[in-house]
Amino acid sequence: MPHLSNMLLEKKSLLMGIVNVTPDSFYDGGTYLETQKAVEYARELIDNGADIIDIGGESTRPGASSVSLETELERVIPVIKQLAQMTRIPVSIDTTKSEVARQALEAGACIINDISGLRFDPKMVTIAKDYHADIVVMHMSGTPETMQNNPHYTGWVVDDICSFFTERISYLESQGIQKNHIILDPGIGFGKSIEHNLDIIAHAHIFKQFGIPVLYGPSNKSFLQPFTSANPEDRMWGTAGITAYLLTAGIDIIRVHNVHNMAIIKNVLSAIKQRLKETTPAC
């Protein structure tokens, strides 16, 4: 299975397609709860241009409650096993539970996408190290159940997130996790107001200072509602605008639901950048 660093060297930016194997996710909850439907949908995302598939068995929408270990395993492991046999596209497991991560890696996943930044389960670091997994370290204030209850920060949200990343990188390296296995995610919508989210997007370039791949997950989230409508389907256009902006800012991985349309945006921007490179006068 190709390593993310090599994929980024080849493609410059990657799209992570979302498969929610849950009954209650905000966008497509229940649609892909059956294993075969989830697998078929993942294949569709790959055909549409997904470079990574992110599988989750527990909703992390605002107000969501946690599910049991057994339930999460029943939802995600059969999907990952089938995908691993069908494709070499990297599979990511979206979980905060170390045992889910362990079994997912055994089943064929190679990335751990942990919204807690590896803080909720102390065994997660050991699992990541033992399996040489890539790790998405996300910033979140609170928990999914409480994070949107009046989110606030003592300083500028971007500075606070940078401090969090600095601490997490230092801690993970002290535990034997190599820096080239870390991916940073500022956590749009996870304990953030609309203004916080806009700051995180507008100043995306700041997070590149760590010399580590940066991932954003803006897809169809509720902070887009004031700019679109109450219908989550309409938020795709807001997601498209953010995706274009993030790609021009050099963000490495963008996690999206509608891979087909975001791949078109990525391809057009890539062609424009290539043409600019070819036609800019030397002087």
The pLDDT tens digits along the chain (283 residues) read 777 878 887 888 999 999 999 875 555 556 667 899 999 999 999 999 999 999 999 987 666 678 899 999 999 999 999 999 999 999 999 999 999 999 999 999 999 999 999 999 999 999 999 999 999 999 998 766 766 777 778 899 999 999 999 999 999 999 999 999 999 999 999 999 999 999 999 999 999 999 999 999 999 888 898 888 777 678 899 999 999 999 999 999 999 999 999 999 999 999 998 899 899 876 6
The answer for residues whose C-beta is within 8 angstroms of residue 43's C-beta and 6 or more apart is: 86, 87
Alpha carbon 137 to chain centroid distance? 9
The answer for residues whose C-beta is within 8 angstroms of residue 264's C-beta and 6 or more apart is: none
- Is 218:248 a contact under the CB 8 Å cutoff? no
142 in helix, strand or coil?
coil
CATH code of residue 27: 3.20.20.20
Beta strands in 102-246 (DSSP E): 111-114, 134-138, 182-185, 215-216
Domain count, the chain: 1
| Domain enclosing residue 153, as ranges | 4-279
- Is 223:199 a contact under the CB 8 Å cutoff? no
Q: Point out the residues that are catalytic.
A: 221, 255
